Amino acid sequence: MYTFLVVDDESLVRENIVFLLRQSSHYPFHILEAEDGDTAMDMLAVQSVDVLLLDVRMLRVSGLQLMEWLHDKNWEGIYAVISG
């Protein structure tokens, strides 16, 4: 089973992405949510995630900073950048 992490500081956007993911797949997967880059880093430090969907512009830690952190950690998952 794949695990997705959706990271966006706008709760409505994040909830809609989660809804669309659940509606568009017949395969089982687990979806996690983080409201900012700091929370995502904490989650990624302890949780295995296969696919990361992240916003570019967030408070404190941006999506770009999160991608740099993932690169430094040699993270081997897939990520897609989303932006309104």
Give the pair of three-digit tokens for residue 10.
Answer: 């706008």
- The pLDDT of residue 53 is 95
> 54, 8 in Cβ contact below 8 A?
yes
- The pLDDT of residue 70 is 93
Q: Which residues contact 75 (CB under 8 A, 6 or more apart)?
A: 44
Q: Quote the strand ranges of 1-84, DSSP E.
A: 2-7, 29-34, 51-55, 78-82
- The pLDDT of residue 11 is 93
- The pLDDT of residue 82 is 87
Confidence (pTM): 0.90
Report pLDDT digits (tens) over 16-71. 999 999 888 778 889 999 999 999 999 999 999 999 999 999 888 888 999 999 99
